Amino acid sequence: MQDRFTAETERFRRELLAHCYRMIGSAQEAEDLVQETYLRAWRSYSGFEGRASIRSWLYKIATNVCLKALQPRPIRVLPSGLAGPYDGPDRPPRSVAPGEVSWLEPLPDAWIAPPAADPAAVAVERESLRLALIACLQHLPARQRAILILREVLAFSTAETAEILGTTTAAVKSGLQRARARLGELEAEPERLLAPTDHRARALLDAYIAAFERSDAGLLEQVLRTDAKLEATPFRDWQAGRTMCIHMLDAYVLGTPGDWRMIATAANGQPAAVVYHREADGALRADGVVVLAPTAAGVSHVIKFHNPALAATFGFPDVFAP
């Protein structure tokens, strides 16, 4: 029975991971919730009677695992979810005390990438995992979040969604309407981002990396859009507008040539880089991950996640060795 269970369920693991990430906003937690989903599925597999598809049965388990996990937890946010952009006196950004805020985390594309032979699936997956969208989803009540994801991302019918959530079709329709309205308030005009594979997106990422490695604020000016936003966890302050972004980076971050090294990767369907910083002992140690929002007019949004453990999450070493 173990072999049959694996054959029937394992092919859904990547998409279930993406689903749990959309619900929870953390790659590591999503991975743990998928493990819990498969454990529960295995325990009840002998009683699975096939009245629903194996896929919808797994999504029912995964969604309810996520809803239970969300009950005692604060939502995960980005700095822009706490307050407006900083426009006070010139000073380094203020950090948030550990444990005060639960931060959103990036998701490596390699964890959930569908087969490259299906470009339509790639496009849908990429669009539904944009960091801006994931950040907005976290502000929806958990059940509304689940309804919106099941109906509009995963294309389950109203009846299937009601079955997955153990509710009525009327409740699903009402919840979807409220979720759409709230999402529209949070992200009124979703941006059209370039795919990470687009040569223009890669050129922007390469230029951003070069600007940091050379400590070149002038090159950053060519990369960022005039209305660009810059935010970084675990800092409360964030910047809006290219001038403010470059001033903060030039004054407090860029340092001198050689202080930074970055390795290109992809996260949330967007170009990204694993970041290393030169420490006092001369070693380049993992500093976190930066994710860019590339558009035809330049990078509109930069989000830096200051968490050295993310290097390992993305499959890179803790210390950069040329």
Q: What is the mean pLDDT of residues 302-318?
A: 97
Q: What is the pLDDT of residue 188?
A: 64
Q: What is the pLDDT of residue 122?
A: 67
**Ranges assigned E (strand) in the chain:** 224-233, 239-240, 260-267, 270-278, 284-295, 298-305
Percent of the chain at pLDDT exceeding 90: 81
Q: What is the 3-state secondary structure (H, E, C) of 181-245?
A: HHHHHHCCCCCCCCCCCCHHHHHHHHHHHHHHHHCCHHHHHHHEEEEEEEEEECECCCEECHHHH
Q: What is the mean pLDDT of residues 102-127?
A: 79
Q: Mean pLDDT of all residues in the chain?
A: 93
For the chain, the structural domain boundaries read 75-130+190-322
Among 10-14, 38-42, 72-76, 140-144, name the one with the lowest average pLDDT.
72-76
Sign of CA dihedral 105, 61, 269, 158: negative
Q: What is the mean pLDDT of residues 97-110?
A: 94
Q: What is the mean pLDDT of residues 103-114?
A: 91
Q: What is the mean pLDDT of residues 138-154?
A: 96
Q: What is the pLDDT of residue 119?
A: 63
Percent of the chain at pLDDT exceeding 70: 96
Query: What pLDDT digit, counting tens, does each position of 169-189 carry?
Result: 999 999 999 999 999 998 767
**Whole-angstrom distance, CA of residue 245 vs CA of residue 229:** 7
Confidence of residue 4 (pLDDT cuts 50, 70, 90): confident
Q: What is the pLDDT of residue 266?
A: 96
DSSP 287-302: EEEEEEEEETTEEEEE
Q: Which CATH number describes the domain made up of 75-130+190-322?
A: 3.10.450.50
Q: What is the pLDDT of residue 121?
A: 65
- Amino acid residing at 182: R
Q: What is the pLDDT of residue 49?
A: 72
Q: Is 120 a residue whose pLDDT tops 70? A: no
Q: What is the pLDDT of residue 115?
A: 59
**Whole-angstrom distance, CA of residue 145 vs CA of residue 69:** 14
Q: What is the pLDDT of residue 305?
A: 98
Residue among 247, 241, 216, 245 at smallest CA distance from 226: 241
Q: What is the pLDDT of residue 26?
A: 96
- Longest CA–CA span in the chain (Å) reads 66
Q: What is the pLDDT of residue 98?
A: 86
Query: What pLDDT digit, counting tens, does each position of 224-256 carry?
Result: 999 999 999 999 999 999 999 999 999 999 999
Q: What is the mean pLDDT of residues 205-231?
A: 97
Q: What is the mean pLDDT of residues 121-139?
A: 86
Q: What is the pLDDT of residue 124?
A: 67
Q: Is 290 a residue whose pLDDT tops 70? A: yes
